[in-house]
Each structure stands twice: as C-alpha cells, then as structure tokens.
C-alpha cells in the first residue's frame, strides 16, 4: 500500500524540531586566529560595529543554523525559516511563488543584486514498500559526484515531513554477512539501492509516522568544528554564501546604501537556476553578484585564504568591470581574494548576457560530500567586501 500524496492546506511550519538533531559538539577551534586574520580584522574594524572575534562567532553560528536544516531543491522551506529567524528585525522580506526570498534597501539607480541559493542536492520519497521502507529519487539537474548515493548509504538521514522532521537511516549491508564474499560495496551504488528505514514495518506505519510521497530527504545534519575556525558538514554549498549575506544584512547601515541594494536567497539553483531566473525578471539590477561555491576541480583555492571570485575573460560572460571594482576594493581594504573557476550553470545562468554578473563566494573543500569544509574567516571577509561594495558611491 502506498499513501497518496495529499495537499496540506496549512502553511509550512518550517524546520520544526530540526535544531535538536544537530550534533552538539565541543568547539575545539576556539583558538587564536592566525596573524593574517588579525591584520584583516584590524583593517576592517572601522566599517564594522562588532569586534572581529564576535563576527567570527556570529559567522559560525549562522552557518551552523543554516546548515543544520535541510533544503532539497523546491523544498527550501526550512532554510527560508532559518534565514528569517537570523535576519535583522528591520529586514522586510518578499517571498515569490518559487520560494525566493528578497529584501531591498534604498531606492533608485544603480541597482545591485546579491544572491545566494538556499537549496541543496537531496532526495524525495518516491515509494513505500510493503515492509515499510522508503524508496527515493535524487532531485537535482546539475551534475553531482558519482559517489553521491554511496555517501548516503548506511548513514543517518532526515525526512522533512509536513508535521516535522522524522529521523531515518538508510539500509546497508552487514559486514559480517558478506565476509569472504564479493564485497557488495565494491560496485557503484545508485539511488535504486537505497532503502530508508524510519522504524516502520508496514506501509501503514509509514503513513502513521507522517511520511508521504514526495517528502524531501537529506543526510542528517552532523556539523563538526575543525581547527582554526573551520567547520565541516553538509550543504555548506551554499549555506556559507547565505550566511555571508545574513552577516552583511546584520551589519548594514541602510542609510549608507547608494541606489538600491537587493539581497536575495534563491530557490532551485540545482535545477538550473530556476529561482534566479524568476529573480532576473523581478528585480531591476545593473550589477549582480552571485554568491556561490566555485566549481571543484578548477583553480586551486583553499579555505582560510580569503573569498573566491570568478575570473572574467573567458566564454562565460562574467563582468570584468565588477571584477575590477572588487579587486580594487579588496586591495584597498587589504582583504585577500582568490581567483576561482565558476561554470555557467547555476544562478549566474539567469543573468549572463542580460546584465553585468560575477560569481563570488567562499572556498569549499570536499564539495559535494556530506563533509564540506568552510572557514568562518572567509565568510566574514566576504561579508566585509560585499558591504564595502554595497556602500560605495558608483
């Protein structure tokens, strides 16, 4: 028996209960930041109201809050709720029918749009077996690691049900039962191999637990603190970008904005920038900065060494003018910048050829795994740079 999908007339309750599922771990990284960080922070203190250490702590808190909820493409509700909770009280968000969140400050021209995507790759429930196991389908159009399904096998998962989050595990072979035989994991794992166990042993149990078809499924939110202000966990791409934009909003002095600044959190980036496509038609902007993770496997960048920026001049159509302005600003404020490789897929695809656009972000290690690594220093530096750009007289 398979429960039929039904329309729930109630408004989304967001990420009910998900916060409790984040591993409460120690903070061994609360150590002295490197000397370079002191220089960076000392030079940028004049434009910030908070101390550098407070900003780092706030950046870490924001990343944790945003990465500790799931946001499969098209089902970004929990991330939206987390963003609303973390935003300053003056921020009055608009939400369009694709789920993009925007907040605008100032008026008139020039228009600057900063956007970061809320969604992450994941699954939706596509079936329920008679024994009560869930079957899944991956939900993304952009390419993923061929090991994506393996990363989810034998791991704790979360179902974002309509009545709250339901913990689950994905079934894996027992090592004892396969010793001496061809090891079953020595072959590619595909999503059809995944069976999800919520503790139900019949389709009726599944229904009673509140799981229905199309409910989104993500890996459990295990976020750990690494050395020197780094964090590792799922969906740092692009919650780190969202965190930088929230940090910017928290520190922004609206009166200083020249023209109109729009900060946007986009939906369905992984479906080919569908949310950004909507924004491109909704928001009038002369300049667009897409805050996202660079392509892995491109130019070598490292967490902790500053924000990353796309290099114009190729066939991608990225703006040299914005790049020059950023580089000049970064040099003047002594913020480090790393050149990175960005493709044309993703949110930038909605703007290339229509308006000046440049991708920017923070470097991420192990992109596409459930253990993406980011550095809070880079997030603070990126927010500092974006604030500087938003307040400059163009």
Partner 1 sequence: MTGRARTVLLSLASITAAVLAGAGDIRAARPGREGGSFGILEALINTPGVSTREQGVRDRIRSLLPAWARPAVDAKGNLLVTVGPERAAKTLLFIAHMDETGYLVTAIREDGGLDVKAVGGFFETLYEGQVVLVHAAKGDVGGVVPPRPNYLDPSAVETPAAFGKEAVRVDVGASSRAVAESLGIAPGDPVTVPKAFQRLYGSFGSGRAVDDRAGCTALLVALRGIDPKTLRHKLIFAFSVEEETGLDGAQAMAETLRPDLAIAVDTFVSSDSPLERPAFAHAILGKGPVVRAIDSSNITDPALVDRVLNLARQAGIPVQYGLTRGGNDGSVFPEFGTPDLALSWPTVHSHSPVEVINERDLDGLGALVRAIAERW
**Segment 264-323, which members bind partner 1 (CB under 8 A)?**
296-297, 303-304
When binding is defined by CB under 8 A, the residue of 45, 47, 172, 271 that contacts partner 1 is 172
Q: From CA 145, how far away is CA 122, in angstroms rounded? A: 12
**What is the residue-wise DSSP string for 305-349?**
S--EEEPPSSTT---HHHHHHHHHHHHHTT---EEE---SSSGGG
When binding is defined by CB under 8 A, the residue of 197, 207, 286, 391 that contacts partner 1 is 197
Q: Taking contact as CB under 8 A, which single stretch among the options 89-97, 118-126, 146-154, 340-348 is the one that binds partner 1?
A: 146-154
Q: From CA 78, how far away is CA 265, in angstroms rounded? A: 13
DSSP label at residue 22? S
Check residue 175 for interaction with partner 1 (CB under 8 A): yes
Q: If we measure between CA atoms, which residue out of 387, 388, 384, 308 comes closest to residue 40?
A: 384
Check residue 109 for interaction with partner 1 (CB under 8 A): no
Q: How far is the CB of 246 from partner 1 (least distance, A)?
A: 23
Q: How far is the CB of 149 from partner 1 (least distance, A)?
A: 10
Helix (H, G, I), strand (E, B) or coil at 102: strand
Check residue 6 for interaction with partner 1 (CB under 8 A): no
Check residue 160 for interaction with partner 1 (CB under 8 A): no
Which CB, 193 or 287, lies closer to partner 1? 193
When binding is defined by CB under 8 A, the residue of 115, 358, 373, 381 that contacts partner 1 is 373
The answer to whether the CB of 68 falls within 8 A of the CB of 22 is yes
Q: If we measure between CA atoms, which residue out of 277, 313, 273, 305 comes closest to residue 292?
A: 273
When binding is defined by CB under 8 A, the residue of 227, 327, 332, 334 that contacts partner 1 is 227
Q: Taking contact as CB under 8 A, which single stretch among the options 46-54, 61-69, 163-171, 353-361 is the one that binds partner 1?
A: 163-171
Check residue 11 for interaction with partner 1 (CB under 8 A): no
Q: From CA 347, how far away is CA 365, in angstroms rounded? A: 21
What mask, x for binding partner 1 by CB under 8 A, covers residues 24 to 63?
Answer: -xx-xx-x--------------------------------
**What is the residue-wise DSSP string for 35-72?**
HHHHHHHHHHGGG-SS-HHHHHHHHHHHHHHHHTS--B
């Amino acid at each position: 028996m398979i429960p039929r999908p039904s329309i729930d007339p109630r408004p989304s309750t967001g990420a009910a209960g998900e916060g409790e599922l984040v591993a409460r771990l120690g903070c061994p990284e609360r150590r002295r930041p490197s000397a370079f960080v002191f220089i960076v922070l000392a030079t940028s203190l004049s434009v910030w109201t908070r101390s550098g250490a407070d900003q780092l702590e706030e950046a870490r808190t924001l990343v944790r809050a945003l990465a500790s909820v799931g946001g499969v493409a098209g089902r970004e509700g929990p991330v939206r709720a987390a963003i609303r909770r973390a935003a300053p009280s003056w921020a009055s968000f608009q939400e369009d029918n694709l789920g993009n969140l925007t907040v605008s400050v100032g008026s008139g021209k020039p228009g600057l749009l900063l956007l970061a995507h809320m969604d992450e790759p994941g699954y939706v429930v596509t079936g329920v077996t008679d024994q009560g196991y869930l079957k899944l389908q991956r939900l993304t159009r952009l390419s993923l690691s061929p090991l994506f399904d393996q990363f989810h096998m034998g791991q704790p998962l979360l179902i974002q049900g309509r009545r709250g989050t339901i913990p689950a595990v994905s079934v894996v072979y027992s090592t004892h039962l396969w010793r001496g035989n061809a090891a079953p994991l020595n072959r590619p794992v595909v999503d059809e191999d995944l069976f999800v166990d919520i503790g139900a042993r019949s389709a009726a149990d599944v229904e009673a637990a509140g799981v229905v078809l199309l409910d989104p499924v993500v890996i459990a939110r295990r976020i750990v603190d690494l050395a020197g202000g780094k964090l590792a966990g799922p969906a740092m791409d692009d919650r780190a970008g969202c965190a930088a934009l929230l940090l910017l909003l928290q520190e922004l002095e609206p009166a200083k904005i020249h023209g109109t600044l729009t900060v946007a959190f986009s939906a369905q980036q992984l479906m080919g920038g569908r949310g950004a496509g909507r924004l491109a038609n909704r928001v009038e902007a002369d300049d667009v900065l897409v805050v996202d993770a660079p392509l892995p496997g491109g130019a070598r960048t490292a967490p902790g060494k500053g924000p990353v920026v796309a290099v114009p001049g190729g066939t991608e159509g990225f703006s040299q003018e914005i790049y020059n302005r950023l580089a000049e600003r970064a040099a003047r404020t002594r913020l480090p910048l790393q050149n990175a490789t960005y493709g044309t897929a993703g949110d930038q695809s909605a703007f290339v050829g229509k308006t000046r656009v440049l991708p920017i972000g923070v470097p991420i290690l192990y992109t596409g795994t459930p253990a993406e690594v980011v550095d809070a220093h880079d997030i603070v530096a990126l927010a500092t740079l974006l604030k500087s750009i938003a307040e400059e007289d163009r």
